[in-house]
Structure 1
Amino acid sequence: IQLDDIKIEYHPNSGRKPVIVHFDDFGRSEDVNEGSIPPNRTPWHPWRSRMDFEVASLALDCHMNKQKTDKLINSIYCAAHGLDAFTLKDHQEIQNTWDLAAERLTKLRKTEVVVRYRDLEPESYELYYRPVWDWLQELLLNRNIVSKMEWDARRLFKFDGGSQTWKHFIEEAWSANSWWSFQSKLPAGAVPLCVVFYADKSKLSSFGTAKGYPVIVRCANLPMDIRNGSGIAGGRVVGWLPIVSEDAAHSGKADFVNFKNVVWHESAAKIFESMAEYCRTGYTMVCGDGVRRWMYPIVLIKSADYEEQCVICLTRGLKSLHPCVRCPIPHDQLLDFDNKYLERTAKDTIEILNNARQKALISKADEEAELKKYSLRPCFNSFFKLAHSDPFAGVSFDDLHFQDSGVWGDHIFEHAKIQIDNRSAVTKIDNRFKEFPRWSKLNHFDTGVMKLSFNDGSKHYDISRLFLFAAHDVIPEKENKAAYTLLKVMRKYINMIMYSGLNVQTSDTIALGHGAIKNFVYISLSPDVNKTFNVIKVHYHQHLYDDIENKGVLRGMSTKPNEKFHGPLRKIYLRQTNFKDTAKQIVRFEHQSVVATLIQDEIQILDRYEHGDPELPSDLETPIDNVHFTLGSKLKPVSFAQLEGEDLIFARIHIRLAEFMSTLLTTATNIVRVTYTAHDTIIPYQFLKIRYESLETWRLAVDILRCNPSFHGHPRYDYIIFRGILGPVFARLHYLLLCNACNSQYPIALVQAYKIVNTRSRIDKDLGLLRIHKEHNLEFISVQSIVRGAVVLPISSETDDKFVWDPLDGDMFLRVKKYFPGFTDGR
């Protein structure tokens, strides 16, 4: 056994023996050799040519930017020069061919859902749905998709050198408890086929008068990177639920709300009807990879916001006696994290419903009173028809609505804008947001945030991690204790969401995460905050780690991938419908988009089969490339004399570099002396790609770094962490170069190093801020010593000190906790 070895214990029903793999080999799976099997030679069928499909696909999208315009021009160019055939005549022919192509995948069908309200005539509602079992079979029969699926539950352990023990960790759903528990209920040799369910009503028009209600499913047997994507193996719209119009005479009344819930569940029952029998008996088939499997489908995860979870589980919502969907905690005790209430279950709920119906034989009021005690509705849950798919066990913690747009967006951020109302403070915060360094996948706020009004969860997530650093000094504690205490709440909130959002959860991080939640709840109870946090979305954090241990990390339960569907659906409504009978048109165009994705995927497979992977462009130069880093954006060679004339930071550069290289290359048995003259040259670079092993995921991660005086019109000199003699050091890149020494080339960086400020101010301790101070001189380092990129924030114009932005990502958060324990805890 070696340090960090991974032990995999498979479920006993799988018949697979435990295995131990070396850390470096964990997570690496052999790709399917697509070249060994001839692909579909005409994936664009029923179009007469690939060119026809390309143009039809572009017309379907109907939102041309520069890239798509170039694609159209290129397509026309190919046709004009006889490189391919273009035979389409008009829009109608495109639509007719789309209708033929639509047969390649299961289309959405139309049916009527009939429900009676009170003693009135039954009302009929249109439901468009795609049978879920048909969708699952499409995945199972696709060789490229099914070969990436996992089937057997497993428990994962990593060998810890310090304690000499195996430490449990969780990642995908199949490494968590619910999958293991479900497989334990199946016959030997049978395997789970797990579905992720999502539904949410959304606005289609600007004023919200037109709405859509998509149901989206994903297959949890696929890795999160695949199933959370938008490809054919990603999410699929399987339903377009009817929306019951609000009637002024009935809106808000309990029986009308119940009626709307019945319509919802009758619709959901129809969507899942095709797989209900197989949930009980299983289904055996030969999959696309040639393997015969006995599969039991289950709706393992129900991904939804709070309001939708109340509909899924038929609970009564925020104003009820027990507003939590998961447990019967009283509405006035939501911040009680010392006691844990029993979880709701389908079995207990059915018993309660049966008892209530017995009372209804005597009095409807008695039935209502009985159900009200448990905050349940008098309706039958459609998920009770699906064996093992307990709706209460399935509904899951959602970081988007419970954290980003919830605890942060609805409460902390809104309260901060109320508390921080001083004009100069508001201006300072906004200016700092405008000046915040740019980083990949990080929203930039060019107009500040204090006056923003929006409901974009991704923006809320970024603001929640940035706000503390922008506002740390704008409100002295003596002037506004409530605002200052709220800043302390923000630090606890940051720690809480960073731990909960980790993409690998170990027994250690789960324990630390529990502690972070309690620390947040404890400080939020302070009367100095001047706000109550006795809200359902704070309480839900009591269930957060139960969900992680049962269903995998939060990324697999989040509504974020599904919310991305709303934008394209809204565009279809606005740009491709005639605003009449829109549901029929939307589901038609949505299906065409799915078919287009399938065809495009097959075309890419065909291209790789015939031509292999395309080579890098000839003008892209990466002269130094290894596993750890790549240099790029090469400039012309420059002499040391030229550099000295450009900037004072290059004073005596040939002497300083020679001294550094001599020290770098000298060993205990070989003293090396390197010398340069002012006329010798080096090669500058302005781009650096660093690959490093993430402390969060234990896999390779990549940072793209710039060292450029004019990147998109602005200077860009990124920060890094490098390995110093005494430990990790933060530094700013000033120059990247390639120099010659001893007949070899060496990549070197000129950096401005910063040291940790150990004598900390009260504010730094209270708010958990890691302050660094600029060293006197620039220094050379080997690019090989760079660990990863970093984001460092200016504190004020009065000091050169900086703050390290520790919530950059999971790796940086854990790295700072590891290297500088206690600095970012806050108090």
Structure 2
Amino acid sequence: MDFDLDFEENYNGSAPLSQCDEDPGEMSTENDSDTADLGRLKNMLSASRPYAPWNSLADFEYTEMAVQGVMSKKIIDKQLRKLADSWTNEGGSKITMHNFRDYKRSLDKGRTLGVNFSQRTVAAELWGEQKTYTFCFRDPWQWILSLVTDPGLARVSEWQSRQLFYCENGHTERKPYYDYPPNPHMHCWLPLHIWLDKGLVTSHVKMFPIVLRALWLPSEIRNASGNGGGVIVGFMVMVLDPGNSEERTERQNYGFAQFKREIYQQVLEIIFESIWRKASTGELVECGDTVDRVLYPGFLIESLDFEEAWNFTCCRAGRAKHPCPRCLVSQDMLHCLQKSFPARNSSEMRAAIDRSRRAPNATQGEKILMDFGLHDIVAMTYDLVHFDESGKWAHHLWVLTLDLLKRLSLLTKATELMAEFPRWRNLKHINDLAAKDFSDGQTHLDILKCIIYILCELLPAKSPLIPCIRALLQCRMVLGLKVMTQSRKEVVERFIKNYEHWCKKVFEEHGKSFRFPKQHFLAHALEDVRLKGVLRNATTRTGEGTHQEVSQHFQQTNMRNAEAQITVRDEDQEAVARTRLIVYDFFKSNGDNPCPDDMEAESLEGFGRRILKSKLAPGSPANHWIFESPLRHGDSRSYKYLHGGNNPVYRAFDPRLRDFPHAQFPAEYFTYEDTIMVETFQCLYLSYQSREDWRNAEDILRCNSNWNKEGPRYDCIMFNSDEPGVACARLRSLIRCRLPSSRIVNLAVVNISKWRPKTVWDGCLVYEEGKEFSFLLLDYVIRGALLAPAHGARSTQQLRYLVDGVDGDMFLRILNAIEHVCY
């Protein structure tokens, strides 16, 4: 397949001068000479001691290990004292720190490399009583400056907006596909992604972190940890209910809700005060690539669950007349996905609030706000996790499915079938459907990907629930793609329409109502893609790891005033991460190995792997596969004995193997007396070009008679075939042969009528697994495939469903193979 990407740069020019207090060309920073002197001093220190402020590289590396390992004060002090005394010969250690006090002193200095936290207080009145809250935060503008002035990050920053076009075999997506969030303003507008969500750090303690991500950086950087990754800018105040809401009047509950929102708004105003003016007037900054730019920070994406969305956008909750934070859809139209409704906009909402304030009494003012679904407080993006996985699926269709299985006494059977579902990389294996109340969106997504292959033979024939679940999965798979093209958007529109159709059928048969806000929000999904880029930019999944990080820090506190202690540990991590990058760049520029042992080991992953135990050379380094886990080595004549005479894979192995190269390589000539050396393997690393974003991807496939001591595991592959359609086969052996001419040949031993399940869904593919074994050149293998057993088939048939929801690439391959054209 030939393709190329055409990049069209769009320069929107500078911001209008009317938006600035002064001409950007004449703007200057204060104390330029002092700043320059400080920069030269830092460069001198970095040139001689890149690990500064630590005294030695060994000091820094020990500190890095201690911080990343979350080591306690007691352990650090004990280890350092031993290193300075009895663990080394006459003080021969390169570590100059002698105790925890020395360690802490160096780390305190290292924190100056990052942006430190501070504390502020907010207060509001509740039922005649003044309540005060203290919270921790760090200045987001200082964090932004640390990113834009970093030379390493400047090389990968997206300073301009751009359009990308996809071309393949003469077809061109004339309309741009959406990858990076589009930049509708000047080239130095800095779009931000804010994420905030309450989460458990222990079984009883909740915390409310606020995370910022820099959308002008590539997703691989901003969604990771370390320099350029997401940063905790503060902790939202946890406003606890002072009593029992059921014992209060409706008016009192409303007063408490107003109080909580007022506190939230005060906290946000303080945290983001430093970027408020700069968002409209800009600030001149010399960036890491030595180019002066006037920077305009602004929020492009807000990742919130509906509870937070209602609180922070000042909208009323789910039972309001107009519960959607984006439009004025009425309560009785929430199930409609094809209709459009008037959008909320700032001017109209402000006008409604002004009218309510001018009303002659509070009752009439409140009615005006209720008509618009608003709260009177001075003052969101489609989220795949909360709206699809933990929303429409987990809290609605999955609940309906479980209830239906229980009524039909099929839940135990469904649990057994799910436990037998084949394993796949990055797909959680669910052993117990019934006993667990899954709380994370990823587990619910994994169930959504697999459940129809279980339900199709358990539920009554032509049950509308199966195509409804399938339609939701189709919407989720395409909306979750890393790149969104125009043709993919058109396919999503069809899927949404199909999903709405089957929701109506489910309502007619089961009485399930789809009038809830997260159902309606699917109507806004494509608009968000157009305005803000692909939805993975806004998913809250990238922030879920923050709860785990905060939980680890919390365990190291004394459980009192925990937020202040957590912020110190967060500063420690940032200090060692920034120093590690400085050390890395220093040694790399001098031609030395910049990586510690663990980083070097990671760099060997992928197609830099080295197979130390292989007896036969792997052949061409250009191959898109690698064999791993060698099993046996010998000549072809002895193989059936080495593997046991009863193994059908190796029956008549030698003659079949000799016939195969003759057919594939006519120029190869060898006699029966010539020896063919053979080595078998149990693991296959298979590289392929993903159709999702046209980058390299990798499958790890197993061919093992007793994988991980859990029994046999023989994964499946997709390969190029002369037959039309998608060809799949099951790996039964991985073989490397050395022919008498020294040619290396890599083979797979594989085995792969029409049958229809009781309920057929869009994209249903069924294969019959054959009993004969044949050889297949690895050159023809495309990628791995997941085939799930069809339990409703006759016992004499080995039938399998092809699972297309394992990832975006597989979904697009099957989508195009069946009927659609989707680039």
Normalization by structure 2: what TM-score?
A: 0.86
Alpha carbons of structure 1 residues 636 and 264: separation in structure 2 relative to 1, 3 Å: same
Q: After superposing the two structures, state which structure 1 stretch, 45-54 or 794-803, moved more.
A: 45-54
Where do 1:143-542 residues align within 5 Å?
143-159=151-167, 161=169, 166-174=174-182, 179-180=183-184, 183=185, 186=186, 190-207=187-204, 210-248=205-243, 253-359=253-359, 362-381=360-379, 395-421=380-406, 425-445=410-430, 447-477=431-461, 484-526=463-505, 527-542=508-523
CA distance in 2, matches of 1:604, 1:515: 49
C-alpha separation between the residues in 2 aligned to 1:76 and 1:552? Answer: 52
* C-alpha distance in 1 between matches for 2:107 and 2:566: 14
In the alignment, structure 1 residue 115 sits paired with structure 2 residue 124: yes
Mapped to 2, the partners of 1:64 and 1:747 lie a distance apart of: 51
* Partner AA of 1:275 in structure 2: I
- For the residues of structure 1 that align with 2:611 and 2:736, how far apart are their CA atoms? 21
Contact 2:763 2:814 in 1 (8 A): no
Instruction: Give the equivalent residue in structure 2 for 1:748.
Output: 746
Change (3 A) 1:682 1:11: same
Return the alpha-carbon distance in structure 2 between the equivalents of residues 787 and 167 of structure 1: 29
- Mark the CA change 1:627 to 1:228 in structure 2 (over 3 Å): closer, same or farther: farther
CA contact (8 A) 2:261 2:314 kept: yes
- Correspondent of 2:723 among 721, 726, 730: 726
CA 89–404 in structure 1, closer or farther in 2 if over 3 Å, else same: same
Identity %, equivalent residues: 25
Q: CA separation in 1, counterparts of 2:329 and 2:434?
A: 35
**1:691 alignment partner in structure 2:** 687
Q: Deviation string for 1:767-808 (max 9, x for gaps)? A: 743110123421111111110011111223823111111101
Q: 1:619 aligns with which of 596, 600, 612?
A: 612
Moved more, 691-700 or 723-732: 723-732
Letter in 2 for 1:103: T
Match of 2:808 in 1: 810
| Alpha-carbon displacement from aligned partner over 1:82-108 (angstroms, at most 9, x marks no partner) | 885234344444344332222211111
Q: Which amino acid aligns with 2:727?
A: V
- The answer to whether the 8 Å contact 1:687/1:704 transfers is yes
Does structure 2 retain, via aligned residues, the 8 Å contact 1:14–1:152? no
SS in 2 for 1:525: helix
- Label 1:788 to 1:765 Cα distance change in 2 as closer, same or farther (>3 A): same
Corresponding residue for residue 700 of structure 1 = 696
- Alignment partners' CA distance in 2, 1:201 and 1:565: 11
State the alpha-carbon separation in 1 of the partners of residues 522 and 83 from structure 2.
Answer: 55
Cα gap change, 1:117 to 1:786, in 2 (>3 Å): same
1:88 to 97, 104, 128: 97
Deviation at 1:218, TM superposition (A): 0.4
User: What amino acid is aligned across from residue 154 of structure 2 in structure 1?
Assistant: V
> How much has 1:689 moved relative to structure 2?
1.6
Question: Where does residue 26 of structure 1 map in the other structure?
Answer: none
Q: Give distance in 2, aligned partners of 1:163 and 1:721.
A: 25
- Cα pair 1:39 1:605 within 8 Å, conserved: no
- Deviation of residue 656 (structure 1)? 1.6
Shift of 1:627: 5.0
Number of paired residues?
755
Q: 1:538-549 counterparts in 2 under 5 A? A: 538-549=519-530
Structure 1 partner of 2:59:
52
Matched to 1:109, the amino acid is S
Q: Does the 8 Å contact 1:356/1:371 carry over to 2?
A: yes
Q: CA deviation at 1:346?
A: 1.9
Deviation at 1:676, TM superposition (A): 4.5
CA displacement, residues 448-468 of structure 1 (integer Å, 9 cap, x when unaligned): 212211211111111111111
Compute the displacement of 1:617 (Å). Answer: 6.2
CA deviation profile, 1:679-716 (whole Å, cap 9, x unmatched): 53212222222111111111111111222223322433
State the distance in 1 between where 2:433 and 2:821 align.
27
What 5-or-longer segments of structure 2 have no aligned partner?
15-42
The 1:597/1:40 distance shift into structure 2, 3 A limit, reads farther
Q: Which one is further off, 521-530 or 804-813?
A: 521-530
CA contact (8 A) 1:353 1:378 kept: yes
- Aligned counterpart, 1:136: 144
Query: TM-score normalized by structure 1?
Result: 0.85
Give, as a single letter, the amino acid of the residue that structure 1 aligns with 2:151.
Answer: R
Following superposition, the deviation at residue 654 of structure 1 comes to 2.2
Which deviations, in whole Å up to 9, do the C-alpha atoms of 1:581-616 show, x marking residues without a partner? 222112222222222322334444445452267576
The Cα shift of 1:38 comes to 11
User: What's the CA shift for 1:439?
Assistant: 2.2
What is the identity, as a one-letter code, of the residue corresponding to 2:393?
A: W
The CA deviation string for residues 3-59 of structure 1, in whole angstroms up to 9 with x for no partner, is 6443322224259xxxxxxxxxxxxxxxxxxxx999666444333333334444444
Distance 2:110 2:556 in 1: 19
CA displacement 1:472-521 (0-9 Å, x = unmatched): 212333xxx8xx33222211121111111111111111111111111111
2:114 and 2:575 in contact (8 A); partners too: yes
- 1:98 equivalent in alignment to 2:107: yes
Q: Deviations over 1:331-361 (max 9, x none)?
A: 11101223201221222222222222222xx
Stretches of structure 1 that go unaligned for 5 or more consecutive residues are 16-35, 382-394
Preserved contact between residue 278 and residue 296 of structure 1 (Cα < 8 Å): yes
Q: Secondary structure at the match of 1:634?
A: strand
User: 2:579 aligns to what?
Assistant: 599
Establish whether residue 771 from structure 1 lines up as the match of residue 751 from structure 2: no
CA contact (8 A) 1:730 1:753 kept: no
Instruction: Return the letter of the residue paired with 1:555.
Output: R
Aligned to 2:24: none
Query: For residues 41 and 318 of structure 1, do their structure 2 counterparts lie closer, same or farther at Cα, with a shift above 3 Å needed?
Result: farther
1:732-784 CA deviation, whole Å, 9 max, x = no partner? 11122222347243333233342xx5x45252524743110123421111111
- Pick the aligned partner of 2:777 from 776, 782, 785: 782
How big is the shift at 1:60? 3.6
Q: Decide whether the 8 Å contact of 2:770 with 2:798 is kept in 1.
A: no
Code of the aligned partner of 2:253 = K
Name 1:568's counterpart in structure 2. Answer: 549
